[in-house]
């Protein structure tokens, strides 16, 4: 009876996960989807506590208190701009948990020597994938947090070495299945950890979204493997959902970057950082008043938000400018690049928070043909996603990535603090084009000044 109730709760929780993913499809229903997903997780966790094998609750309680406190502290403390690192870390923790569970099961069951090859395969996979996900995610989080350089770190023969680590891990896995021994699984953990580090080190700036989604997918696969180890159906279903949705996201991100996953992982695309330099060249600087004047005479304005909007938390100031422009009868749209910011959907989330209507958000493919008819393209803290080097400079790490073609607009105004490059570390030719004006300063302050001036016109 007890087991039937647990399994029935798992079934309801699984259904909640699937409904949650469906609801996450649209910003209007995403909040509800998130809530239902969390409810499913809570139900699953509570049902698991009723397992007959659990005889003492002290350690579980300690884990809940420590983990809960750490999670709450992170959620409250972390700034919105540091969210991508946190997501990368949480992917890694998922992988780490799978490895730990796998290792504990190895310690518990392998000495008895009664396990089937299939069970040994699943425990080996949960250790291998989990450990590679943990170490890879730590490197990714370090790169996103800029404690490790965002540029590709490529050792001589790097990709052959990665291939060798992968082969070594697979050989060990087969060996451990053929002659199960605790030491072999320990060695597998060590090699998988190195594999994760080797895999992520050469991934450079602009390609991080691809690798972070891939690690997310791996963390799901590791959890699913752990589900097989423990014969826990909820874990199998939840892990498979994360693995599959993460893989779909990886495909979307690869497509957005115009790269294959293979080339990101094994070919160090964008390994070179172009040497274009700002020396001896000048840009046209402008003022908030002049930008307000340009905007007030415009018929069509396209706002291009980027990571700098997130840094300066300028989304509410953007909404105020939108309202002021619409009041003056100017047509305003937003151009959203799929990898703008530091996580998928970053700009959509921020603009939704400021109540910018969703139908004003245009995707890259849809808005690019319109730029020649746009009077003013207002670039707010975006850099890589509008860098023409992606189309013109084969030595650039951005080469091949589709960009928002703001340079085709009649006038371009760029709001940023300096001429510093973006995440990929590449100079931006856009700033030196004859139709580009730079408004230096914090994006939020600049926007407030523009809106103020606009209302006074
Ligand atoms: P970006 O290339 O990182 O450039 C952001 C720009 O914002 C910087 O050049 C910076 O210039 C400016 N900025 C920073 N703080 C500012 C402030 N307070 N006020 C005004 N400007 C400010 O951004 P992006 O064009 O959005 O491109 C995103 C990049 O991140 C791509 O390379 C993408 O591949 C990568 N990435 C994306 C994801 C994802 O999932 N979306 C994940 C990981 C990496 P100043 O310092 O001069 O102000």
Alpha carbon of 390 to ligand 1 centroid (Å): 15
pLDDT for 119 equals 96
Q: Which mutation among 143, 150, 254, 307 tests ligand 1's pocket best, with the greatest number of atoms within 8 A of CB? A: 307
177-210 burial: b if 16+ Cβ within 10 Å, else e: beebeeebbebbbebbbbbbbbbbbbbbbbbbbb
CA of 263 to the centre of ligand 1 (A): 23
Say if ligand 1 is within 6 A of residue 206 CB.
Answer: yes
| Residue partners of 58: CB distance under 8 A and separation at least 6 | none
* Ligand 1 pocket member 346 (CB < 6 A): yes
Antiparallel, parallel or unpaired: β 361-363 and 411-416:
unpaired
Q: Which atom of ligand 1 is nearest to the CA of 421?
A: 9
> Could you tell me which residues come within 8 angstroms of residue 349 by beta carbon, excluding any fewer than 6 positions away?
none
Residue in 251, 334, 378, 416 to alter for ligand 1 test, most ligand atoms within 8 A of Cβ: 416
Weakly modelled stretches of the chain, pLDDT under 50: 271-276
Task: Using the mean position of ligand 1's atoms as its centre, give its distance from the Cα of residue 344 in Å.
Answer: 13
Atom of ligand 1 nearest to the CA of 253: 40
CB 44 near ligand 1, within 6 Å: no
Name 187's Cβ contacts closer than 8 Å, sequence gap at least 6.
172
Q: What is the pLDDT of residue 303?
A: 98
Residue 278, pLDDT score: 53
pTM metric for this prediction:
0.83
Q: Quick one: which atom of ligand 1 is closest to the CA of 144?
A: 43
How many other C-beta atoms are found inside a 10 Å radius of the C-beta of residue 255?
13
Write out the two tokens for 125.
């996979």
pLDDT tens sequence across 57-111: 999 999 999 999 999 999 899 887 788 889 999 999 999 999 999 999 999 999 9
Reduced to 3 states (helix: H, G, I; strand: E, B; else coil), residue 266 is helix
CB 243 within 8 A of CB 221: yes
Query: What local confidence, expressed as pLDDT, does residue 99 receive?
Result: 98
* Burial tier of 77 (Cβ tally within 10 Å: 0-12, 13-18, 19+): exposed
Name the token pair of 418: 């300096």
Tell me, using a 6 A CB cutoff, whether residue 204 lines ligand 1.
no
């Amino acid at each position: 009876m007890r087991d039937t109730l647990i399994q029935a709760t798992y079934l309801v929780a699984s259904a909640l996960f699937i409904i949650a993913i469906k609801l996450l499809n649209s910003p209007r229903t995403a909040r509800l989807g998130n809530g239902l997903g969390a409810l499913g997780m809570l139900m699953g966790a509570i049902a698991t506590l009723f397992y007959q094998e659990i005889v003492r609750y002290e350690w579980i309680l300690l884990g809940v208190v420590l983990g809960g406190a750490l999670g709450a502290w992170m959620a409250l403390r972390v700034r919105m701009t540091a969210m991508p690192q946190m997501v990368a870390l949480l992917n890694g923790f998922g992988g780490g948990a799978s490895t730990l569970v796998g290792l504990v099961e190895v310690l518990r069951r392998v000495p008895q020597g009664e396990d089937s090859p299939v069970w040994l395969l699943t425990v080996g996979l949960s250790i291998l994938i989990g450990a590679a996900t943990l170490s890879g995610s730590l490197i990714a989080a370090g790169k996103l947090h800029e404690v490790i350089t965002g540029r590709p770190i490529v050792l001589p023969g790097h990709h052959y070495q990665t291939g060798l680590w992968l082969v070594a891990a697979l050989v060990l896995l087969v060996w451990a299945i053929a002659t199960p021994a605790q030491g072999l699984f320990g060695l597998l953990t060590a090699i998988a950890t190195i594999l994760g580090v080797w895999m992520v080190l050469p991934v450079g700036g602009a390609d991080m979204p691809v690798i972070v989604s891939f690690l997310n997918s791996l963390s799901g696969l590791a959890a699913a493997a752990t589900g097989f180890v423990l014969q826990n159906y909820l874990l199998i279903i939840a892990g498979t959902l994360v693995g599959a949705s993460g893989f779909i996201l990886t495909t979307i991100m690869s497509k957005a970057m115009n790269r294959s996953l293979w080339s990101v992982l094994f070919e160090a695309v964008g390994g070179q950082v172009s040497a274009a330099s700002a020396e001896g060249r000048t840009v046209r600087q402008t003022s908030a008043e002049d930008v307000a004047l340009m905007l007030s005479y415009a018929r069509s304005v396209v706002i291009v938000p980027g990571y700098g909007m997130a840094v300066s938390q300028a989304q509410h100031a953007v909404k105020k400018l939108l309202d002021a422009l619409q009041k003056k009868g100017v047509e305003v749209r937003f151009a959203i690049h799929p990898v703008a910011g530091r996580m998928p959907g970053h700009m959509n989330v921020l603009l939704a928070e400021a109540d910018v209507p969703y139908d004003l958000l245009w995707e890259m493919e849809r808005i690019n043909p319109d730029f020649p008819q746009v009077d003013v393209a207002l670039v707010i803290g975006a850099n890589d996603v509008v860098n023409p080097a992606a189309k013109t400079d084969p030595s650039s790490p951005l080469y091949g990535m589709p960009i928002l073609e703001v340079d085709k607009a009649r006038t371009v105004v760029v709001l940023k603090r300096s001429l510093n490059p973006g995440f990929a570390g590449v100079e931006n030719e856009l700033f030196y084009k004859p139709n580009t004006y730079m408004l230096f300063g914090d994006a939020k302050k600049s926007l407030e000044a523009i809106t103020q001036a606009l209302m006074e016109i």
